[in-house]
Structure 1
Amino acid sequence: MRPQNTIVSVLALLPQALASWPSFYSELESPYRNDEPDVQVSTLFQFPNNGSWVDNLALRRDGSLLLTRLDVPEVWSVDTDTGNATLVHSFPNATSCFGISEIDDDVFAVVVGNFSTTTYQPTAGSFSVQKIDLRSDTSGEEQRVFEQSVVVSQIAALPEAEALNGMATFTKESRLVLIADSPNGVVWKVNIETGDHSVALNDTTLRPAEGQALPLGVNGLKVVDGYVYYSSTTRMEFCRVKVNEDATPAGDYQVIASGFLPDNLDVTEDGTAYIATDPQNSIVRVTPYGQIALVAGGQLSTLMPGPTSCRLAADGKTLYVGTSGGQVAPVMGTFMEPGKVVKITLA
């Protein structure tokens, strides 16, 4: 075939190629899409008084929800079927509870310390990791009574920490938990058997941004498939780092997404993240490729003021959200409400 005929043949096929290009491009781009999902949002449980502040969430094997409170040193249980809530334990000699994570079947580690929800100032040296053992809980389904069944003990005191915050179990086999020290901008690892602790992660992305009135760096943590995922609040970044079996870095610290105010988070097995944005009054979803989509709420929305944390249920379709009621930044400058637990059903 002569060259001129080849060119004519290619040009003849061009309209057909162009016609099929949009669908092909759409399929090619589909892993990167992150459309805003259809959701249903309802309040599962709400405390009665303004000032109540839900900080973190954990799910039990029976499907009930454990929450920690920042305004008082308490852990509560919420029945996700009925919305009934019960006090599990109140810690003496402390003002606040922070991160919570399951370390054995129905055994949870809890971060406890002193923090003012008025001045937002922690008491350095006051932080510890406590253990709540719920394995002997035999309370009835209708109304849980925990006082007789909860066994509480100290795992470790961390006087070197300035303000412990979010926590994640590294692996149950390693007997390690990882805990964010937000003002210091490091992540501690704590052996839950011995109480031994040391800094595991230390990087610029973990540290508070310069010039911030509230020095809040690394905040929420989640361990998935050999990576530690974390939020860095005042840097407005969501990041991850590959780690070794002892939780030390095995790769570069990577910024996945930025430009919003991340608090606590949950991450699925494929690396999709759901992140609370406390003063921005929303939950966002971030793909492994860094695309951000709004799940629910919004800057001017009173649907869930001050979302602090989120936890995805085993069905992958139900997202539980804890809120501060908008205490950090009241909606439109004035609206606040008691802290609550919101249920988001994903279509």
Structure 2
Amino acid sequence: MRFPITWLSGLAALPVVLASWPMFYNTAELEVTPPFTNQEPDVHVETLFQFPNNGSWIDNLVVRSDGNLLLTRLDTPEVWLVNTTSGNATLVYSFPNVTSCFGISEIENDVFAVIVGNFSTKTFQPAAGSFSLQKLDFTNIPSSAEERQSENPSASEIAALPETVAPNGMATFSRASNLVLIADSPKGVIWKVNTKTGDYTVALNDTTMLPAKGQSLPLGVNSLTVLDDYVHYTSTTQMKYCRVKVDLDANPIGDFEVVASGFLPDNIEVTEDGTAYIPTGPQNSVVRITPLGQIALVAGGQISTEMPGPSSIRLSKGRQSLYVGTSGGQIAPVLGTFVEPAKVLIITLGGKGWR
């Protein structure tokens, strides 16, 4: 499926669209680049799974070793398993005494760290001191609901995170050193947490990570991933995709570089050659960014209802497809009115088929 250039022109109207969201963005502080001029060829998009009710919100995705997905929900403290062959989805764990799940990352084979805490998807306010990092152990638990029957992963706390404001995206930095990195969006820093000891401290701190000035929604550094000796991260209200070279302890040893800007980035996935795929949240699209910062539209568009509010993205195990989770457009309904239940999409690249 090719996407007409006319869809791209909708991005030129972005300041007007953002002006209709006074709760979330102050357009006087946002600068927008011209519309994207190229696009990913031979792309096919289809829905793998969709929740039944409006208000559902997928925050993050991770691909298991068998190719199936785990997803976290922001509107409820649940982790779901999605079979990428059948499209069937099942609830695998619900965390008690919190309202939301955020980032998820594999820290050992079939063992995952999950950020949980109290957060309102209506007011977008986090509850200070409520966040923690939890462990879900799926070891020896089959992926399929039929085989799993009543078995669920075991859960345990890795660390309470009282100093964080609203920890969001997460990536495993090194299994050998037991480190994960966590983006704290309002605080504008990236924490590192030792998943064995529970110790945590700020690892990365730069002005590119701060929320843009004058924004009602203080959303700075949003998500991150690690490729070789670089940490790649998105900064939403600053409308930037950045990277920084780090040492073996995740300390910066290079400049904080802006790779691309002028769009509203959420989650991020980076391929082995340095190509980044980023969902744009309120812009209802996924873009591809080359290591030189060239931006191309992959799928969706500002006024397209194909993927309202894409919030998370992961490459399939076979590296030929992208899985995209959405919020259903809850932050910014398409054309001001269209919302739908959250869903998982498959974007097949190059016309090569699933996975």
TM-score for both structures, normalised by structure 2: 0.87
Whether the aligned pair in 2 keeps the contact of 1:34 and 1:291 (CA below 8 Å) is no
- Segments of 4+ in structure 1 off by > 6 A? none
Partner Cα separation in structure 2 for residue 312 and residue 245 of structure 1: 25
Tell me, yes or no, if structure 1 residue 316 matches structure 2 residue 319.
yes
1:81 to 82, 85, 89: 85
Q: Who wins on radius of gyration, i.e. which is larger?
A: 1
Partner Cα separation in structure 1 for residue 142 and residue 274 of structure 2: 36
1:48 to 44, 47, 52: 52
Tell me, yes or no, if structure 1 residue 326 matches structure 2 residue 323.
no
Find the counterpart in structure 2 of residue 99 from structure 1. 103
Identity of matched residues, %: 68
Cα deviation, residue 36, structure 1: 2.6
Find the counterpart in structure 2 of residue 339 from structure 1. 342
Tell me, yes or no, if structure 1 residue 60 matches structure 2 residue 64.
yes
Find the counterpart in structure 2 of residue 302 from structure 1. 305
2:255 to 252, 262, 279: 252
Partner Cα separation in structure 1 for residue 47 and residue 304 of structure 2: 15
Letter in 1 for 2:156: S
Cα deviation, residue 135, structure 1: 0.6
Cα deviation, residue 57, structure 1: 0.3
Greater RCO structure (CA 8 Å; 6+ sep): 2
Cα deviation, residue 314, structure 1: 2.4
Tell me, yes or no, if structure 1 residue 222 matches structure 2 residue 222.
no
**Residues 161 and 146 (structure 1), Cα distance of their counterparts in 2 relative to 1, 3 Å cut:** farther
Partner Cα separation in structure 1 for residue 75 and residue 53 of structure 2: 11
Unaligned ranges ≥5, structure 1: 1-32
**Residues 92 and 146 (structure 1), Cα distance of their counterparts in 2 relative to 1, 3 Å cut:** farther
Cα deviation, residue 38, structure 1: 1.8
Find the counterpart in structure 1 of residue 268 from structure 2. 265
Whether the aligned pair in 2 keeps the contact of 1:138 and 1:149 (CA below 8 Å) is no
Partner Cα separation in structure 1 for residue 147 and residue 328 of structure 2: 25
Whether the aligned pair in 2 keeps the contact of 1:88 and 1:147 (CA below 8 Å) is no
TM-score for both structures, normalised by structure 1: 0.89
Partner Cα separation in structure 1 for residue 76 and residue 182 of structure 2: 20
**Residues 288 and 34 (structure 1), Cα distance of their counterparts in 2 relative to 1, 3 Å cut:** farther
Cα deviation, residue 147, structure 1: 4.8
Partner Cα separation in structure 2 for residue 153 and residue 183 of structure 1: 26
Secondary structure class of the residue paired with 1:143: helix
Unaligned ranges ≥5, structure 2: 1-36, 351-355
Secondary structure class of the residue paired with 1:288: coil
1:287 to 269, 278, 290: 290
Letter in 1 for 2:44: Q
Find the counterpart in structure 2 of residue 193 from structure 1. 196
**Residues 342 and 144 (structure 1), Cα distance of their counterparts in 2 relative to 1, 3 Å cut:** farther
